[in-house]
Amino acid sequence: MTAAQCRTKIVATLGPSSSDHATILALATAGADVFRFNFSHGTQAEHAARYRIVRQVEAEVGRPLGVLADMQGPKLRVGHFADGHITLETGAPFRLDLDETPGTTKRVQLPHPEIIAAAHPGSVLLLDDGKLRLKVTTVGRDFLETEVQVGGPLSDHKGVNVPDLMLPIPALTPRDRENLAFALELGADFIALSFIQKAEDVLEARELVKGRAWIVSKLEKPQAMENLDAILAASDAVMVARGDLGVELPPEAVPLAQKRITRAARKLGKPVIVATQMLESMITAPTPTRAEASDVATAVFDGADAVMLSAESAAGAYPREAVTVMNRILERVEADAGWRALMQAARLEPEHHVADAIAGAAQLVANTLDASTIVAYTHAGPTALRIARERPIAAILGLTPTLTTARRLTLVWGVHPCVPDPAHHAHDTESMVSTAVETGRTSGLARAGDTMVIIAGVPFGVSGSTNTLRVAKVPDSV
């Protein structure tokens, strides 16, 4: 039995704990809408095998499932040490340079000349996910002298974060470009870009993707927050990647950044995913902490389109339980009268064009008539996105002629994507209504006697022409 589909979508990462057919089917049945393939780990062959299983499961559960291919992005790391590890003492000097000689307690290789070129006295470098902190005291042609502000153990190839520097490095490494081409060939619906700093990083990827997938920009650097509006405009969706964002921003700044991103994305009608450590304790435990449950609920109250599981479903001991618990939290919040009132109070003013006016009117009509469903006919997705931006109480049925669009809509708040039978293709107003009613009934979103609000574009089949609103009553028999 498939879990009820919530308005807030669930993204589940696949990995060693969730690579077989039975587990992936269990995750979809428990409520997962989109499966994330993390290209920082695993081989292309492993990802291809998982992709084939997801498509098999999609046919079995009878609803579209999205696939998100997450590119690793540029990883900054120190070199290696003669003994494999050292301990940095707080207050001690420590040198970072381009020399490949194994490191000591005095120095180590930093194989990233772009960091040295961009740094200045006072710049901060964070090592090993922020556990260690260095402050630059002197900048040389091929080295940085630093003072250890927070010491501790440091081992080979640990990561380096530079929160206050804009680095002249591309968002896509050669490995990313290879994986990007592979993911598109597989048929990925979304491409996630890591460590985006500016809109140009997104536009560079868009040239490569050429419309074959939606681009999801991961916001995990302070520079991205400074360029948020431009990045949002260039992206199809965004992810609040709280892991690295929490390394480079003070912890107290992350919740405000999450809310700011969510508000800005919703204003533009761009889906937003809240990710990282949502149910972290479920990597090793069958139930989450109460704080984690509250964290997921907060994202739902903020109006996020999706919440994401990372290691919980990819490498944890309880992948199905993690999706099940997350789905239960979403269901409980979305049944709350306070949540419904908040969604209505936060409704945005429609933009000044016909399609947005129609979407706003559909939400008002649905509320007035207590409609069970708003049906959005959409070719490439914009009509469904506009309705989702309104955050209506009525269910949203996204009818599209293409499976590609249906899979992309799996990430969008409240949308139940569906590809109608070609025999029922809408070619006039009468067939538009009958197809909407029939699909609403067969999907379980509408029952006899229910009111449905239908929006579409005339002439039919022309993308971006939403200009029609109809109200229909579901008859006792069709």
Q: Would you name the residues annotated as active-site residues?
A: 36, 77, 218, 276
Query: Is residue 462 packed enough to be buried (19+ CB in 10 Å), middle (13-18) or exposed (0-12)?
Result: exposed
Which is nearest to 33 in space by CA: 56, 4, 70, 53?
Answer: 4
User: Under a CB-based contact definition with an 8 Å cutoff, are residues 447 and 467 in contact?
Assistant: no
**Alpha helices in 394-461, H assignment, sequence order:** 403-408, 429-443
Report, in this order, helix, strand and coil percent for the chain, each rounded to 5: 40, 25, 35
Token match 């006899």: residue? Answer: 448
The angle formed by the CA atoms of residues 308, 312 and 316, to the nearest 5 degrees, is 160
Token match 């921003």: residue? Answer: 249
Query: Is residue 436 packed enough to be buried (19+ CB in 10 Å), middle (13-18) or exposed (0-12)?
Result: buried
Which is nearest to 368 in space by CA: 360, 379, 377, 376?
Answer: 360
Which is nearest to 15 in space by CA: 44, 49, 40, 38?
Answer: 38
Token match 């680095």: residue? Answer: 167
User: Under a CB-based contact definition with an 8 Å cutoff, are residues 70 and 192 in contact?
Assistant: yes
User: Under a CB-based contact definition with an 8 Å cutoff, are residues 6 and 31 in contact?
Assistant: yes
Residue 467: CB partners within 8 Å, gap ≥ 6?
A: 354, 355, 358, 457, 458
